[in-house]
Amino acid sequence: MKKGDRVLISPQVTGRSNWTEATITLVEENPYVGTVITAKSDDGEVFFEKEDMFKLIDNQVCMQ
């Protein structure tokens, strides 16, 4: 995952009932917990948590 990628954020992080779409704003390596992602949701809220609480949204288009 990298800055600018679209992701889904786990409800465990947001406190919402469903996964939330967001854009990654920061990726950092924390020496204690590993990779930490910061993402801004489409409604403007900012969330951060360990990488395993995010799912990359696959926007690839099949050209066959």
pLDDT tens digit sequence for 24-48: 999 999 999 999 999 999 999 999 9
**So what's the pLDDT on residue 60?**
54
Q: Is the dihedral of CA 51, 3, 62, 19 positive or negative?
A: positive
Phi, psi of 6 (to 5 degrees): -90, 135
- Residues 6 or more apart whose CB falls under 8 angstroms from that of 16 comprise none
Mean pLDDT value of segment 40-63? 86
How far from 20 is each of 29, 36, 61, CA to CA, in Å?
23, 17, 22
